[in-house]
Amino acid sequence: MVRNKISVIIITLNEERYVERLLKQLSNERDIELIVSDGGSIDRTARVAKRYTEKVIVGERGRGVQLNIGAALATGDILWFLHADSIPPNNFKHHIVNSLRSPSVAGGAFKLEIDSNLSSLKTISMVAGLRSTLTRIPFGDQGVFVKKEIYDRLNGFKDIPLMEDIEFGRRLKKEGRVVLIPSGIKTCSRKWEKDGILKTTLRNWAYITLFLMGYSPHKLYRRYYRRHLYLTMQRKTIRKRKGWNRVVLSWNWRNNHKKQEIVNDGEPPEG
């Protein structure tokens, strides 16, 4: 018998800009337990989160690990996993609780809506909804919810660097029906805007296809994500501040190795 208490597990990593908006919305609801599982943010994410809940834990980085750490603190009968940049529909609690009243339902998620007016991103949202309807395997940014007893029976998420949501979804649908709520949960468009809509979409589908073909998520991480991380650090993080020693990372594609250089610009900034 599912009661009405929902434990919301929010995973964060340097999400100071978005996490307060989500926590403020959720804190207005009754019978909601807020849990923030942070992966070692260097901004004010944890400090902001503590304004809304005492259950803020800073631990190992990694989505699967963070989700499991947060779930271990949960006392509700329903677990709801959210990304920090999500915007749930106003009637989310009604949908979740009613969906899980049936004994045949194991869990579910919401329809994905990318928060943008661009027609290309609206099309991607529509395709994502069709994919979820056909496969009954939602992505993590769709706000996956599950009965706590079933989550425990599945031993939670796998400790893998990528595709933890898809891997969990494949096991979840073996435990019962996975419902897809037509009300949309919005997700930030930043990853598409940062790297380009076409490039991001093709990369995401390449990851998914290789994973479903049996490719190791650890190899996927090393082969693709780490290279993307180096370029992101070089493009955005390096030279963000002036007047202190900067570590400059660059990639030598010909020799296939990373180069690290210390650039001395003076004393580090205060604070």
The mean of the pLDDT values for the chain is 84
Shortest CA distance to 68 belongs to which of 170, 146, 176, 138?
146
pLDDT at 226 (0 to 100): 59
**163-188 pLDDT tens trace:** 999 999 999 999 999 999 999 999 99
pLDDT band of residue 215 (cuts 50, 70, 90) is confident
What are the beta bridge partners of residue 108? 145, 179
Query: Between these two residues, 207 and 152, which has the higher pLDDT value?
Result: 152
Distance CA 64, CA 158 (A): 6
Range with the poorest average pLDDT among 22-26, 60-64, 152-156: 60-64
pLDDT at 207 (0 to 100): 84
User: Rounded to two decimals, what is the model's pTM?
Assistant: 0.81
pLDDT at 242 (0 to 100): 41
Range with the poorest average pLDDT among 16-20, 117-121, 155-159, 266-270: 266-270
Region 202-223 average pLDDT: 85
- Secondary structure (DSSP) of 26-41: HTTSSSEEEEEEES--
CATH assignment of 6-190, among 3.40.718.10, 3.90.550.10, 2.40.30.10, 3.40.190.10: 3.90.550.10
pLDDT at 34 (0 to 100): 98
**44-83 pLDDT tens trace:** 999 999 999 999 999 999 899 999 999 999 999 999 999 9
> Do 67 and 5 form a contact (C-beta atoms < 8 A)?
no
pLDDT at 225 (0 to 100): 57
pLDDT at 162 (0 to 100): 86
For the chain, give the percent of residues with pLDDT over 90: 60
Range with the poorest average pLDDT among 145-149, 174-178, 244-248: 244-248
For the chain, give the percent of residues with pLDDT over 70: 81
Shortest CA distance to 113 belongs to which of 177, 52, 211, 180?
180
pLDDT at 220 (0 to 100): 83
pLDDT at 221 (0 to 100): 80
pLDDT band of residue 224 (cuts 50, 70, 90) is low
- Secondary structure (DSSP) of 92-145: HHHHHHHHTTSTTEEEEEEEEEEE---HHHHHHHHHHHHHHHHH----GGGT-E
The yes-or-no verdict on residue 211 having pLDDT over 70 is yes
Domain boundaries, the chain: 6-190, 238-271
> Do 143 and 87 form a contact (C-beta atoms < 8 A)?
no
The yes-or-no verdict on residue 240 having pLDDT over 70 is no
